[in-house]
Homo-oligomer: A and B are copies of this chain.
Amino acid sequence: MAGIPEGITRVESIFSKFPGIGRKSARRIAFYLLNKDRDEIIQIAKALVDLKDKITHCPVCNHITEHIPCDLCANTKRDDSILCVVEDSMDVIALEKSVSFRGKYHVLGGLISPLDGVGPDDLAIDSLMQRLDKVKEIIIAINPSVEGDTTTFYLSRLLKKHPIKITRLARGIPVGGDLEYTDEATLARAIEGRIEIPNE
């Protein structure tokens, strides 16, 4: 379109491909950046390249990190006997934010998905198998989906050979959730997994 400098259009089309950003937000961002000092833009550009250059995967748990082993693996206060297996590093961060798990993690780096050509060999499953020595419990914390369920099934079958307790996260009504607005599948899971209220 006439009247829009190419530089704006380019930045717009980059940002509109980012998750959660539409064309209009992308344009607002381009103008926001145009009003920044050059130094600030250089800092932003550098942070993006650093993201790629400095972050690697922990050879133990496969979580993203800037040093080896990662903070979580290096932390001797965390319980080595419980492993939480997750799809990706975002799940680790979400669980860490809940401050409810003090064991260690293992990041698969994806889910088994034959349609996308992702098999067990593409995931960090071998490295998981090599960590089982001290492990007494494995929590499979994988989102429920076709790929998630396939991966959970594959892992649980593989892990059955070892004397390890295998658990999954509870499903039910979220805290603050409302029965009325909860979908049927979640309600069914919540009833299935009901817990006795202890007599006091």
Contacts and interface: CB of A to CB of B under 8 A. Distances in A.
Interface of A: 1-8, 10-11, 14, 18-21, 25, 27-34, 36, 38, 41-42, 44-55, 63-66, 70-72, 75, 88-90, 92-93, 96-97
Contacts of A54: 5, 7
A36 B10 CA distance: 17
Q: A32, A47, A48, A90: which has the most chain B beta carbons within 10 Å?
A: A48
A98 to B, nearest CB: 11
A109 to B, nearest CB: 10
Given A1-B96, A20-B21, A25-B21, A48 B33 contact: yes
A63 B34 CA distance: 12
Contacts of A28: 19-20, 90
Given A19-B25, A38-B52, 18 more contacts: A1-B96, A2-B72, A5-B54, A5-B66, A7-B51, A7-B55, A8-B64, A11-B51, A21-B21, A21-B25, A27-B93, A28-B90, A34-B52, A34-B55, A34-B64, A44-B45, A45-B46, A45-B49
A50 B72 CA distance: 39
A17 to B, nearest CB: 9
A55 to B, nearest CB: 5
